[in-house]
Amino acid sequence: MTSNADLFARAQRVIPGGVNSPVRAFRAVGGTPRFIQRAQGAYIWDAEGSRYIDYIGSWGPMILGHGHPAVLEAVQKAAVDGFSFGAPTEREIELAEAIIGLVPSVEQVRLVSSGTEAGMSALRLARGATGRNKIIKFEGCYHGHADALLVKAGSGLATFGFPTSAGVPEDVVKHTLVLEYNNLAQLEEAFATQGSEIACVMIEPIAGNMNFVRASVPFMTRLRALCTQHGALLVFDEVMSGFRVALGGAQSVYAKLIPGFEPDMSVFGKVIGGGMPLAAFGGKKDVMSQLAPLGPVYQAGTLSGNPVATACGLATLQEISKPGFFEALSAQTQSLVRGLEAAARDAGVALVGDSEGGMFGFFFASELPQNYGVVMATDKERFNRFFHGMLDRGVYLAPALYEAGFVSAAHTPADIAATVAAAGQALAQG
């Protein structure tokens, strides 16, 4: 039998770091990454035949679990008809109609192949539609690896960003302002001093790339008001939260708390592809009409609207739209988080968690963090030990303190109970 260690050594000879996306390398937690051979329902199996309860779910898309029969049938049928045409298909229209039907703020969408592509295109469209250059993003929010968005925060208010990645010229990010998440004072001053120059504010409403952190209702309320007042577009990055935290995405959660709330544009991915490479960005028709071939903002993609990917995504959206789906998913996720907190209390360990729909997070801390700086101050070493303790007991969590987790409809109460039991053992071990 081939081992994970053998595969990792082999991979490192031909792939930088042995992986095709950095977090998979286990650098944050140490140890050898698991090379996955197959998956079914709530489980994945590695190259050594070990089974794990999967709380990554391909980083969110597998909301139905792996290998859902209706999705498999749709994909197999589509594949027989053809892998790619480079021409329009009816299914692209059907998927766009499904997204628009579930998200009231969206009147038109453009399909693309990845969340990075969708975020990059939404940013270009916002600049083109407003005729402005500056954008605001928040520390700890990840919007893909487009150059202008790979920026870390400096100290102080609205610091001009410096590239987080080598290979990104400072000139590219000089128009990117980085603010602290949930910091109202910074937000107010940024708009007071530069409001007329800001094209858009891009935000993860529930940030999943600093584990799980919500934008507070007062913060989101004021953000919406300031964007409207100054003519900037509010762009919701719902690549992770879209159709995952609720059928209408995180924006539907805030709409229940803030009367009349809507973003101007939205970016989607993950769940809308059902595990296939597919993403989208959308908004009001007057903004979307600025895209080529109607307007001056250019965006294109050979594989955009791929017929197999759209079949997978459409089947997934149809399943999660069934009555009671999100109520059941939310209950399972809440049960997991409550169980982890209880296991920690029994072990005398400070742990606090939060969830919405099928997305969750937890921190080794006494209260939920509100921004990236506080997340960074939580107990990373404790998390790393916990991660490996859970992995040894057949539970696969995200291999980094800074990533959210995901529950699928395939997770059963027995899976949740087994996870909580494993957590109790891992926490007692230290």
Active site residues: 142, 237, 270
Phi, psi of 357, deg, nearest 5 = 60, -125
- Which tokens hold the place of 409? 């409809």
> 206-207 and 213-214 as β-strands: parallel, antiparallel, unpaired?
antiparallel
Strand ranges across the sheet with 279-283: 108-112, 279-283, 265-268, 233-238, 198-203, 134-138, 176-179, 159-160
Q: Which residues contact 92 (CB under 8 A, 6 or more apart)?
A: 111, 305, 310
Distance (Å, whole) CA 33 – CA 50: 13
- Which tokens hold the place of 58? 């391909």
- Whether 198 contacts 191, CB under 8 Å: yes
Say whether 208 sits in a helix, a strand or coil.
Answer: coil
Cα→Cα distances 336→1, 65, 329, 352, Å: 34, 16, 11, 12
Distance (Å, whole) CA 39 – CA 198: 45
